[in-house]
Amino acid sequence: MIVHSSPGLNGLTLPVWVTAAAKAATEALLGKPFLLKQKLYLESQKKPLLVPITSASLLDGGNKALGITHCESGIGLDITNGLEVWAFVNWTAHSSPKDSSLELVPGNGVGKLIGTSELCLSEFSRGLLHQNLLPMVPSGRSLRIELVFPNGRELAKRTSNEAFGVVDGLALIGTQAEAQVSASPSQLKKTIDHLRVRCSNPSSKEALIFVIGENGLDLALNFGLPSQLICKTGNWLGPLLVAAGEIGIKQLLVFGYHGKLVKLAGGIFHTHHHLADGRLEVLMALAATEGLPLDLIQSIGMADSIESALLSLEAFDFAIAQKLWERIAFTVEQKSANYLSRYGSWPMKIGTVLFDRKRLVRWAGPIGQQQLDWFGLNLQTP
């Protein structure tokens, strides 16, 4: 039996569409007939996915082939929904072991690790490509796959990719086939259910760390936060704070990108960009509270992003900028505690730690600093 791709509320992640396009192109290169849907196999599933293909064709006199798909990742809140994916493939001579017979090349609109030309992709993405494409590669050859996302560079500007060292486009960072719509009620329920299961043991309620998304998780682990305490969340931070309080968590650390968590300082506890923004307005209000000069506050309002506002402030006076962001971290802790108190009286202490676009963990609120001390970790300086 075949599991058909029917995105509905939750569709399929970008690595699935990339692999389907690359497989369709490879079949064209092998002279096989074009199929409107590609079977993809996953290690975690016995039944294959059936993924729609837009087109596939030979190019360059049959020496190269192109496969095209269009992402269907959910109800439209995911930034990749509708993204066009191109996969160009061709054979190259290769004498290495079979498991290294794929050469992945990031083309236009595809995210690369900063300072390199290396494609940014997760282990799930790499494994999916290998599992479905390596059986098609003839002995003694390698398959070169150049990926192109025609609109990827523009879409990446609406993400926090650069905060995690990814430039020039969208990264392949999915960790499963099914898309998780982080702004959807169903995803909130899944996260709360997961939270309750992992904290069912009384000894697991001493401390917990919330991080937002795959990139936040990656940085939290690299920074040295204990993996056993980390819970990856979506954008429903308010209800998750309440769920953690209900469960009986004693110490909660909210670890996140400054451009995301600054929303909490303004009382915005659903952080998806489709539903709420106001980040620069929050920054201006807190700058006024700190007594910054009026012209500097006005320059914040005219900035095109939180990061550019931060850089302008640092250029004006680094100490003032540092003090403002410490104020923001403190305010996030205050607002989070206030939010929690609306729904119950729990003794949970909520700390905040913020990192910047260069992946430096730079600011903490008073409670967040205490929690870092408890973990034996220090803030980083630029």
pLDDT tens digits, 31-42: 999 999 999 998
11 and 152, same domain (yes or no): yes
226 and 164, same domain (yes or no): no
pLDDT at 330 over 80: yes
Please state, in angstroms and rounded to a whole number, the distance separating the CA atoms of residues 133 and 115: 28
Residue 98 pLDDT level (bands cut at 50, 70, 90): very low
Least confident of 71-85, 98-112, 142-156, 282-296: 71-85
Q: Is residue 97, in this structure, part of any structural domain at all?
A: yes
Q: Is residue 154, in this structure, part of any structural domain at all?
A: yes
Q: Is residue 64, in this structure, part of any structural domain at all?
A: yes
139 and 213, same domain (yes or no): no
Can you give the pLDDT at residue 271?
Answer: 63
CA Rg value for the chain:
23
Please state, in angstroms and rounded to a whole number, the distance separating the CA atoms of residues 148 and 296: 41
pLDDT at 264 over 50: yes
Can you give the pLDDT at residue 40?
Answer: 94
9 and 100, same domain (yes or no): yes
Please state, in angstroms and rounded to a whole number, the distance separating the CA atoms of residues 354 and 374: 17
pLDDT at 165 over 70: yes
Q: Name the average pLDDT for the chain.
A: 84
Of 141, 170, 199, the residue at which a domain comes to its end is 170
pLDDT at 27 over 70: yes
Dihedral of the alpha carbons of 244, 249, 251, 255, in degrees to the nearest 10? -30
Q: What is the mean pLDDT of residues 351-359?
A: 89
Please state, in angstroms and rounded to a whole number, the distance separating the CA atoms of residues 4 and 240: 32
First-to-last C-alpha distance (Å) of the chain: 54
Question: Looking up tokens 């995301």, which residue turns up?
Answer: 260
| Degrees, nearest 5: CA angle 160-220-339 | 75
Can you give the pLDDT at residue 47?
Answer: 85
Q: Is residue 229, in this structure, part of any structural domain at all?
A: yes
User: Are the beta carbons of 170 and 161 closer than 8 angstroms?
Assistant: yes
Q: Is residue 380, in this structure, part of any structural domain at all?
A: no
213 and 123, same domain (yes or no): no
Residue 173 or residue 286, greater confidence: 286
How many domains does the chain divide into? Answer: 2
Q: What is the mean pLDDT of residues 258-283?
A: 75
Q: Is residue 381, in this structure, part of any structural domain at all?
A: no
Of 147, 170, 193, the residue at which a domain comes to its end is 170
273 and 331, same domain (yes or no): yes
Q: Is residue 382, in this structure, part of any structural domain at all?
A: no
210 and 316, same domain (yes or no): yes
Candidates 326, 327, 372, 367; CA nearest to 347 is 367
Residue 191 or residue 312, greater confidence: 312
Q: Is residue 200, in this structure, part of any structural domain at all?
A: yes
Residue 77 pLDDT level (bands cut at 50, 70, 90): very low
130 and 238, same domain (yes or no): no
pTM attached to this predicted model: 0.62
Q: Which range of residues forms the domain containing residue 218?
A: 185-375
Can you give the pLDDT at residue 183?
Answer: 46
Burial degree of 60 (CB within 10 A; 0-12, 13-18, 19+): exposed
199 and 289, same domain (yes or no): yes
Least confident of 76-90, 167-181, 302-316, 358-372: 167-181
Candidates 15, 8, 7; CA nearest to 42 is 15
204 and 131, same domain (yes or no): no
Can you give the pLDDT at residue 6?
Answer: 40
Q: What is the mean pLDDT of residues 251-258?
A: 93
User: For position 45, which CATH number holds?
Assistant: 3.30.2110.10
334 and 212, same domain (yes or no): yes
210 by DSSP, 3-state: which? strand
190 and 166, same domain (yes or no): no
